[in-house]
Structure 1
Amino acid sequence: MSARIAAVDYYLPESVLSNEDLAAQFPEWSVEKIASKTGIHRRHISGPDEFSSDLATAAGRRLFEGRDIDPASIEYLIVCTQSPDYYLPSTACIVQERLGLPTSTGATDITLGCSGYIYALGLAKGLIESGQVSNVLVITADTYTKFINPLDKSVRTIFGDGAAATLVADDGNAESISGITYGTNGAGAKSLIVPHGGLRAGEGLQPKSDVTARALESTGYDLYMDGPDIFNFTLDVVPSSVDAILAKAGLTGEDIDLYVFHQANAFMLEHLRKKLGVPAEKFFVALADFGNTVSSTIPIALTEAERQGVLKPGMRVMLLGFGVGLSWGGFVATW
């Protein structure tokens, strides 16, 4: 048995936060400045009564309808989210019922952010190739904007909400997902944190996240990101990860037709592209109209690359996620 990415699609909330909206609220930041720093022009924002399970369900339905997939055929569901509706029950159980998946379907959550898509597909591959199931529905869904203090312009310009659904199925042929590598550095957990809303106060892990020190009035979550730390971490681990993936897959950089990385921001991605020496035409970026949707950036970019005719059947694409945790992972997929 050999797992492959059989289909992918995504869903975005209707509400949009544009650079013009942000510039009106923060006059010291022009539209041009926001776009030049992030490469993002607009991002979709979940409504007050719209949560991760809603986005996940909508993404799953869009995949089923667009690819003529019978919900009754799904054998396992993985939902990757760091913004669950509840501490318990798991979001996957809620989505299983809403999508009309059989009660024989396995369903579980994993809580990872920017690397979550890679980890979820790695788990799906293991489930399939160990013979437990023949297909897995992987859904990534996050509503990070609900964590963001509205006066924290540094992160409001970056993050958007969204969800993506991917069907991973038994190919029965040659290995379609290869060279999987993972990495974790929990010493960097303090670099990106939601300090409030959980069972433990986050100031103990990251004193800089204290809202008083940030001149903010708490909204109950107050996401904090140390941008320079994240940037330096990325420049450090991504090149070595690319080398490790290629070595494990038995490939060279010339064998890769397209690179699709976590869509953090355009500034970071361009630095990585140049550092890796990847030609611009082989390095796909799709975040101008989406923002950083955390676990969903890679599947959204894959969908866009396919729709635009950039990603075609038979191509080898390297996927690599990195960020909150600190955590990273990647592999090569034959499309």
Structure 2
Amino acid sequence: MKARIRAVESYLPAKILTNEDLAAEFPEWTVEKISAKTGISRRHIASDDEFSSHLAIGAGRALFDAHNISPESIKYLIVCTQSPDFYMPTTACLVQDGLGIPITAGATDITLGCSGYVYALGLAKGLIESGQVENVLVITADTYSKFINPLDKSVRTIFGDGAAATLVEATEGPEALVGFTYGSNGAGGKNLIVPHGGLRSGEDIAPKASMATRGLTESGYDLFMDGPEIFSFTIDIVPASVDEILAKAGVGFDDIDLFVFHQANAFMLEHLRKKLGIPKEKFFVALEESGNTVSSTIPIALTEAVRRGELAPGMRVMMLGFGVGLSWGGLVATW
């Protein structure tokens, strides 16, 4: 049996933060400047009493309802999040209960960000093709807005909250998920970090994240991103990753019908598109209405591509995630 993606759906919280809202808070940044720098017009933000498990449950329900999938049919649940409700219990267990998935199903979290969707698909493929389970529900969910210092406009303009659910199932057909490529470089972990988010002070490894250096007053978690370092990492790693994915998948560049990369920001994506020589019609961008939702950007984009009719059965789509960790991963899927 081989693993394939059966369906994908997404979920966004109701609260919205627009460029107009941000420009009102930071008058030195106009609506036009924010749009030009990020390619984002608005972001969905989790309310004070809304957490990653709630978004994950919303995404799961959307998938079940849209594709006539029964919760009782789910054999295994993977929740990918870097903003869990609690240190313990595991968020996946809360989601299993909230979705009415049987207690006989496995449930586990993985804590990866921008590359997390690809890693979760790889794990789902392994579970299915090793004969352990017949299907895996992969849910990505993050509420990065809760990590952000309200006065840090550099990250408030970029990140939004969201979730997505993907059902990966066994099929007797040909391989549909191939070319998996992974990489990690923890030496760059200091460049995208929540310095006050765990049991250890992140300022120990990331001096630039200190409140004094940033000119901010500590507000809780205070997510820090060194934009230039993340940009340099991305520009270096993505072209080599694309070549490796193609080689492992046994396909050529022109065989890919659609490229769906992590939706970091429009400037970075356009730079990558030009550097790689990808035609605009094959390069899917969908972050204007949701922002950078971290682990969910790729599946949210897939959902939107299907809705627009730009991703149809039989097409080959390359997915490539890259960012926090530092971590990256990609694959080619036959839709």
Shorter-chain TM-score tier = over 0.9
**Number of the residue aligned with 1:267:** 267
**Number of the residue aligned with 2:240:** 240
Q: CA deviation at 1:159?
A: 0.1
Q: Which amino acid aligns with 1:134?
A: E
1:1-335 matched pairs, under 5 angstroms = 1-335=1-335
The whole-number CA distance in structure 2 between the counterparts of 1:284 and 1:98 is: 33
Q: CA deviation at 1:77?
A: 0.1
The whole-number CA distance in structure 1 between the counterparts of 2:108 and 2:132 is: 15
The whole-number CA distance in structure 2 between the counterparts of 1:132 and 1:260 is: 29
**CA deviation vs aligned residue, 1:52-93 (integer Å, no higher than 9, x gap):** 000000100110011100000000000000000000000000
Query: Any idea what SS the aligned residue of 2:213 has?
Result: coil
The whole-number CA distance in structure 2 between the counterparts of 1:276 and 1:23 is: 34
The whole-number CA distance in structure 2 between the counterparts of 1:142 and 1:196 is: 17
Q: CA deviation at 1:46?
A: 0.2
**CA deviation vs aligned residue, 1:287-330 (integer Å, no higher than 9, x gap):** 00000000000000000000000001100000000000000000
Q: CA deviation at 1:213?
A: 1.6
Q: Which amino acid aligns with 2:96?
A: Q
Q: Which amino acid aligns with 2:207?
A: P
Q: Which amino acid aligns with 1:6?
A: R
Deviates more, 1:268-277 or 1:206-215: 206-215
Q: Which amino acid aligns with 2:70?
A: D
Query: Any idea what SS the aligned residue of 1:213 has?
Result: helix
- Over the matched positions of the two proteins, sequence identity in percent amounts to 73
The whole-number CA distance in structure 1 between the counterparts of 2:150 and 2:212 is: 15
Structure 1 runs not aligned, ≥5 long: none
Q: Which amino acid aligns with 2:305?
A: A
Q: CA deviation at 1:197?
A: 2.9
Q: CA deviation at 1:219?
A: 1.1
Q: Which amino acid aligns with 2:268?
A: M
The whole-number CA distance in structure 2 between the counterparts of 1:56 and 1:201 is: 28
The whole-number CA distance in structure 2 between the counterparts of 1:47 and 1:89 is: 21
The whole-number CA distance in structure 1 between the counterparts of 2:252 and 2:288 is: 30
TM-score under structure 2 length normalisation: 1.00
The whole-number CA distance in structure 2 between the counterparts of 1:78 and 1:161 is: 19
Q: CA deviation at 1:212?
A: 1.8
The whole-number CA distance in structure 2 between the counterparts of 1:41 and 1:130 is: 43
Q: CA RMSD in A?
A: 0.4
